[in-house]
Chain A
Amino acid sequence: MANDVWVYIEHKDGNASPMSFELLGIGKELADNLGSSVCAFVVGENVENIAKEAFSYGASKVYAVEDGVFKGFRAEAYAKAASFLLDKYKPEITLFRATSQGTDVSAASAASLGFGLCTDSIGIKVDGGQIKLTRAAFGGNYTVTVVNEKAKPQITTVRPKAFSMPEKDASKQGEIIKESFSIAESDLNTKVLEFIKSEVALNLVEADIIVSGGRGVGGDDGFKMMKELADVLGAAVGASRAAVDSGWISYEHQVGQTGKTVKPKIYIACGISGAIQHLAGMRTSDCIVAINKDPDAPIFKNASYGIVGDYKQVVPKIIEKFKTKLNK
């Protein structure tokens, strides 16, 4: 239906990225307000299992394009298939997660349909029949709410973890609508040669707990201690720009304006002063613990719990307590 809410489902090697069902929750809420249905859509080689999983997270229908040419993810191929579906069915709004894949496909689809999109939404609501999208601007110092009057369908990417994951109910079923759409391999511009898996097991953006170090941790040894605490907690390791620029840890760990935006349940900031560029990337974390020598560090104004002290003394003590209390 024309005012349905669509959610793009990401997958890799035939398995859906579990977090991409996250948006079916807010999608359902929007659809209820619009008097329509939440539908998933997926592009791939074999999407049957992914579709079934989407039903269990609340999708009432799954629109799919299935073809061998879509075996592995390629932005241009997936975007062509996505824009074909969106142009044909013109849902009211389409939600993508603001991941690399979601951003690539949504941007290219919007451009080929001939309009702009709202990126990295953190709030979505229906107000007087109109969809209002809210995003953070300028390092999270402001929020900006926009409406999209011209674009049909509207497209937005949504910040990972901005909305909670819907409950899974394996008994739920729905209808799969398969569209035949293909592209000749020779018409495609790109070919994936290989994928080199990262040594960093945990994805910073998806992590529930992050232990982050800044200039104050002083070097590689400091980050060994961050890693040790992270291992005890099953956490990912983050870093401020100062730490990355000093070469103590690689860029993929950087949190903040020129790094990643994260929203874990627990964020432990060690030796991070809390410059606005860093806060921009982590201020919406559920619980922030700050450990810093300087009692005037701005991070304390944003912390749920602050500890004024040298991390070299505080962190080992915390590690020891966690090990005892968690029987590790």
Chain B
Amino acid sequence: MKIVTCIKQVPDTEAEIKWDIPKGTLKRDGMDPIINPFDEFALEEALLTRENYDGDIIAISMGPEKASDVLRNALALTVNEVHRLTDEAFAGSDTYATACVLASAIKKIGDVDVVFCGKQSTDGNTGVVGAELAAILGYSQLTYVSKVRQIDAANKKIVIERAIEGGIEVIEAKLPAVVSVIKGINEPRLPNLMGIRKAAKIEIPAWNADDLGIDKAKVGYEGASTKVVEIAVPPPRGAGEILKGELEDIANIVTDKLIDLKVIK
């Protein structure tokens, strides 16, 4: 089985965020980068799938030189192959352009059975790249996946559970499929020292727009259909009131105030 996992490097959300105001994009250099938390679950699911059904895992990440770190971490976790997708023309890509670049890489890899990605990234937070990727590739679109029940590569079938509003939906789908996973689907492992040492020596191969056969005008800042026109800091919440006094009085005040809102039935 051929398994692809898409991983993204994101700024640590504890870090200070810097914007390139005229472009409306993030200044990613100088930020402490981490692997997108949701992608750790995608990578682990790829590893579990290989353990259960055999096959090869190819991890891909779109991003600048620094993004090599998340791929090196994937190598330390013993994925078989990694590719960094990088080109000046990719900078400023919106969700669709990102999905197009990822799709081109998946087509280039060829004969892929299943693509695992995280439900969303913690920086862009759009949560649509997985679905867009499936639509572009014509693969089964399986989102909010909380469990992979079974994969039958020979018969090109997969059964998964999706955690959606109101419950769990069980779906059988044809392979190939894009499976975007939620937190809690598994417990991501950490690489061991041996893996880290081995991975440290491997050069991370890069694919650019030409390698991927991508029309540069259609991706990146130029190709993006949405343009940022304003970045603002939302007004802070009005200073709240700390209720002081005896517990009895505090409880009376707060329950009265909440009942006055006429929300409680």
- A residues touching B (Cβ–Cβ < 8 Å)? 12, 75-76, 79, 99-101, 103-104, 106-112, 114-120, 132-134, 136-151, 189-198, 203, 205, 208-209, 233-234, 244, 250-252, 254, 257-259, 265-266, 276-277, 283, 286-290, 295, 300-309, 313-314, 317-318, 320-322, 325-326
Take A142-B233, A190-B171, A287-B261 as given contacts and tell me if A104 and B225 are in contact as well, using a CB distance cutoff of 8 Å: no
8 closest Cβ pairs, A-B complex: A107-B131, A107-B128, A116-B96, A116-B94, A111-B135, A111-B132, A150-B225, A145-B230
User: Does B13 lie within 8 Å of A208, measured CB to CB?
Assistant: no
Q: Who on chain B is nearest to A232 by CB?
A: B264
Take A120-B126, A137-B125, A266-B263 as given contacts and tell me if A318 and B140 are in contact as well, using a CB distance cutoff of 8 Å: no
Take A190-B173, A258-B183 as given contacts and tell me if A300 and B242 are in contact as well, using a CB distance cutoff of 8 Å: yes
Please tell me which one of the listed residues A115, A209, A286 contacts residue B96 in the complex, with CB atoms under 8 A apart. A115
- B128-166 CB mask vs A (1 if < 8 Å, else 0) is 100111111001111110000000000000010011111
Q: Who on chain A is nearest to B122 by CB?
A: A257
User: Does B37 lie within 8 Å of A203, measured CB to CB?
Assistant: no
Q: How far is the CB of B36 from chain A (nearest CB, A)?
A: 10
Contacts of A101 in B (CB 8 A): 164-165
Q: Who on chain B is nearest to A105 by CB?
A: B131
List 5 other contacts, CB 8 Å, given A136-B234, A266-B261: A75-B131, A76-B135, A145-B232, A244-B184, A301-B237
Contacts of B247 in A (CB 8 A): 309, 313-314, 317
User: Does B264 lie within 8 Å of A326, measured CB to CB?
Assistant: yes
User: Does B172 lie within 8 Å of A100, measured CB to CB?
Assistant: no
Q: Who on chain A is nearest to B163 by CB?
A: A252
User: Does B227 lie within 8 Å of A138, measured CB to CB?
Assistant: no
User: Does B240 lie within 8 Å of A288, measured CB to CB?
Assistant: yes
A306 to B254: give the CA distance in the assembly, Å.
9
User: Does A75 lie within 8 Å of B143, measured CB to CB?
Assistant: yes
Contacts of B169 in A (CB 8 A): 192, 194-196
User: Does B265 lie within 8 Å of A192, measured CB to CB?
Assistant: no
Contacts of B232 in A (CB 8 A): 142-143, 145
Please tell me which one of the listed residues A75, A106, A251, A302 contacts residue B184 in the complex, with CB atoms under 8 A apart. A251
Which parts of B65-96 form the interface with A (CB within 8 Å)? 94-96
Interface size class of B (residues with CB under 8 A): 35 or more
Contacts of A191 in B (CB 8 A): 171-173
Take A108-B132, A148-B225, A321-B255 as given contacts and tell me if A100 and B173 are in contact as well, using a CB distance cutoff of 8 Å: no
A60 to B167: give the CA distance in the assembly, Å.
33
Q: Who on chain B is nearest to A308 by CB?
A: B242
Q: Does B42 contact A (CB under 8 A)?
A: no
Q: How far is the CB of B35 from chain A (nearest CB, A)?
A: 13
Interface of A is mostly: mixed
Can you sample 28 A-B contacts with CB below 8 Å? A75-B143, A99-B165, A103-B127, A108-B141, A111-B136, A114-B96, A115-B225, A116-B225, A118-B226, A119-B127, A138-B13, A139-B13, A142-B233, A144-B231, A146-B227, A189-B139, A189-B141, A189-B174, A191-B172, A192-B169, A193-B159, A195-B167, A195-B170, A203-B165, A266-B264, A301-B240, A307-B254, A317-B247
User: Does B132 lie within 8 Å of A119, measured CB to CB?
Assistant: no
User: Does B165 lie within 8 Å of A100, measured CB to CB?
Assistant: yes
Please tell me which one of the listed residues B122, B228, B238 contacts residue A145 in the complex, with CB atoms under 8 A apart. B228
User: Does A111 lie within 8 Å of B96, measured CB to CB?
Assistant: yes
Q: Does B7 contact A (CB under 8 A)?
A: no
A270 to B248: give the CA distance in the assembly, Å.
18
Q: Who on chain A is nearest to B175 by CB?
A: A189
Contacts of B171 in A (CB 8 A): 190-193
User: Does A314 lie within 8 Å of B251, measured CB to CB?
Assistant: yes
Q: Does B215 contact A (CB under 8 A)?
A: no
User: Does B226 lie within 8 Å of A147, measured CB to CB?
Assistant: yes
Contacts of B257 in A (CB 8 A): 305
Please tell me which one of the listed residues A100, A112, A119, A196 contacts residue B170 in the complex, with CB atoms under 8 A apart. A196
User: Does A189 lie within 8 Å of B229, measured CB to CB?
Assistant: no
User: Does A266 lie within 8 Å of B258, measured CB to CB?
Assistant: yes
A23 to B222: give the CA distance in the assembly, Å.
31
Contacts of B144 in A (CB 8 A): 100
Q: Does B99 contact A (CB under 8 A)?
A: yes
Q: Does B97 contact A (CB under 8 A)?
A: yes
Take A203-B165, A314-B251, A317-B247 as given contacts and tell me if A306 and B227 are in contact as well, using a CB distance cutoff of 8 Å: no
User: Does B229 lie within 8 Å of A145, measured CB to CB?
Assistant: yes
A145 to B241: give the CA distance in the assembly, Å.
32
User: Does B167 lie within 8 Å of A111, measured CB to CB?
Assistant: no
A119 to B177: give the CA distance in the assembly, Å.
23
A300 to B113: give the CA distance in the assembly, Å.
49
Take A117-B128, A314-B251 as given contacts and tell me if A194 and B170 are in contact as well, using a CB distance cutoff of 8 Å: yes
